[in-house]
Amino acid sequence: MFNLTPTVRILLFINIGVFILQSQLGLNFLALYPFGSLKFQPWQFVTYMFMHGGIGHLLSNMFGLVSFGPLLEQRWGQQRFLTFWLVCGIGAGILYSGVRHYELNKMNDDRLAFEEAPSGVRLADFFEENMPGARGYEAVAAELDNHPENQGVVASAKETISAIFNSALNAPMVGASGALFGLLFAFAYLFPNTELMLLFLPVPIKAKYFVFLYGAYELYAGVQRAPGDNIAHFAHLSGMLVAFILLKLWERSRGQFY
């Protein structure tokens, strides 16, 4: 079904092998933790892309790799293809970590603001800014407004907010999605008019339109995050951005690029 090229085959086997080990041993130290977490280590910018959050996550990423990777490897060769995959993955991890660092700093500022002057308004602001769509805090916020002297409610709210922040600070990112979205962008860049047949569309769509629409969706989903959405949408967009920059750099040497 798939004409696997050497590097694509190796990456496929490594990801499957790491997933098997992960399911048996955990290997959480290989996931990418946010800046500021005691669990963060620099090597995680490389190792996180070989970890996955479940069998569905693994299958979707590997399906994309074997679908789009071989044609790019045939065009570039093994060394350049592997370089592209790794640079997109590492770059996506670094850029997303920057975005996540900004988000966590803002969450921490909101947490400290509440602890310095507890009130229902500040509690509501914390949830609306950092956990849109969350429910259940409204009753506590109303209680704080009506009885600000109730130290039991204040202490409970502080504990809840601190637990939410610490959980976010120690929530890792895993997956090859950043590298994969780099491949998708490169495929659309080099083969823009290639028609793709997708499972969820009854008609073929050109690669350039598919990637544009996919990127637009990721941007929307990243900005308007839905409750319970734990997908790193900005990591996907970061993979595309790194791919664009790298392709432009390589394009200066057209004799080698094409």
Domain ranges of the chain: 103-169
Query: Which residues contact residue 49 at a Cβ distance below 8 angstroms, ignoring those fewer than 6 apart?
Result: 89, 90, 93, 175, 176, 178, 179
pLDDT block averages, 10 residues each, the chain of length 258: 85 96 93 94 96 91 91 94 96 93 93 91 88 81 85 90 93 92 92 76 77 75 61 82 93 62
The helix (run of H) or strand (run of E) holding residue 194 is none
Query: Which residues contact residue 209 at a Cβ distance below 8 angstroms, ignoring those fewer than 6 apart?
Result: none
Instruction: Write the DSSP symbol of residue 103.
Output: H
Residue 214 burial (CB count, 10 A): 16
Nearest to 105 by CA among 31, 170, 169: 169
- pLDDT at residue number 1: 46
Sign of CA dihedral 176, 182, 188, 194: negative
- pLDDT at residue number 33: 96
Q: The pTM is what? A: 0.86
Structure tokens at 157: 């709210």
Phi, psi of 231 (to 5 degrees): -85, 135
32 neighbors 93 (Cβ within 8 angstroms)? yes
- pLDDT at residue number 8: 96
Cα 247 to Cα 8: distance, rounded to the nearest angstrom? 19
Query: Which residues contact residue 41 at a Cβ distance below 8 angstroms, ignoring those fewer than 6 apart?
Result: 29, 33
- pLDDT at residue number 202: 67
